[in-house]
Homo-oligomer: A and B are copies of this chain.
Amino acid sequence: MSAPANPAPYQVDEPVEGVVRLPSPFPLHHGGALTNAVMAWRIVGPAGAPLVLAVGGISGHRRVGAADRGWWSPVVGAGRALDTDRYRVLGVDYLGGSADSTGPACGGPLLPSLSAFDQADAIASVVRALGEAPLHAVAGASYGGQVALAIGLRHADLARRLLVISAADRIHPMASGWRAVEREIVRFGIRTGDAAGGLKLARALAMCTYRTPREFEARFGGEPRRDADRFRLPIEDYLFARGDAYVAQYRPESFIALSESIDLFRIDAAQVRVPVTAVAVREDELVPYDHMQAFVARLPAGRLATLDSIYGHDAFLKEGDALRPIFADCLEGPAR
């Protein structure tokens, strides 16, 4: 067990951020290359504190914690599971995403197939450019868990430990089926001239897979209401509102690129030499519990923490309290 380098109370510095130019051409794992690509990053936390990369689902971006009203605010912030009083947190905009790293233009051509290994390579460029290697840890959930594992495999010197939530060494075909339908809905929207409409529906479907029947039953068991011309169910009001909110912040082309990237992930877990704390959620419908167990059993230095959560795959976004001891164990635990 190694304590953070400087456990004293820190003065919280201003966030810093920037853009790192990637090697050009930047070869891609599945073939092809990006030219003049950049990756945008952001660091929040007290100067001198150990640096933890935090990466999440395909819609994640460089604004991670509560101070930024980021995508992982329930987990990352002062006094939270990833405590920004004790750690600096690095966030990045994914390649292929809809923020400031290289990605598809809205309405522009689709990118070549991306891989979590491409994200890992780009992140390695960022971390080395910042002179921050090795990172104290990489904490990744969902797609970010794949990225964390890709870092551990491809850049074993870049991070001393990995925290991998709801991501395994392979993909379940049922999860791929849902995502394949989602991507095809978006392509259908692009083809018929309403890409935003397609993305809305894809996100509505994705919400069904991120959550659990138990949560939906508790929240949306009410009666249908008669609208102008037809009935509407409580669940569809919710799903399509989430779809509308998503369209306002995310590009259809990014969704296709990063959703596909998830489905192309396959690794040999036995080759991951960095210590891994894996977190499995029993109710996760995208990354089944038995996959997580088998994955951890193949890791040379892996341990498994289990969560029960009504939020299923979205537990990593919701279960800040339950994740607190797991983060503590990982961040103060075995390191390479």
Contact = CB atoms under 8 A, between A and B. Distances in A.
A333 B6 CA distance: 76
Interface stretch (A47-55, A93-101, A142-150, A193-201): A193-201
Contacts of A234: 173
A175 B305 CA distance: 30
A184 B204 contact: yes
Contacts of A188: 188-189, 194, 197-198, 201
Given A176-B235, A184-B201, 14 more contacts: A110-B229, A113-B231, A173-B220, A173-B221, A174-B213, A176-B236, A178-B205, A180-B235, A181-B239, A185-B201, A189-B192, A191-B194, A224-B264, A231-B264
A22 to B, nearest CB: 23
Interface string A225-238: 00001110111100
A30 interface: yes
What is the interface of chain A mostly: helix, strand, loop, or mixed?
A: helix
A108 to B, nearest CB: 15
Interface residues of A, number: 49
A174 B240 contact: no
A83 interface: no
8 contacts: A173-B217, A173-B234, A174-B216, A174-B217, A176-B233, A184-B201, A185-B185, A192-B194
A244 interface: no
A213 B177 CA distance: 10
Nearest to A239: B177
A216 to B, nearest CB: 4
Contact of A172 (B205, B217, B288): B217
A129 interface: no
A172 B213 contact: yes
A174 B178 CA distance: 14
Interface string A10-43: 0000000000000000000010000000000000
Given A172-B217, A184-B201, A264-B231, A208 B177 contact: yes
A77 to B, nearest CB: 31
Given A173-B216, A192-B192, A230 B180 contact: no
A263 interface: yes
A260 interface: yes
Contacts of A197: 188, 191-192
A234 B173 CA distance: 8
A228 to B, nearest CB: 12
Contacts of A194: 188, 191-192
A266 B231 CA distance: 14
Nearest to A197: B188
B263 A224 contact: yes
Nearest to A31: B226
B235 A177 contact: yes
A248 B13 CA distance: 63
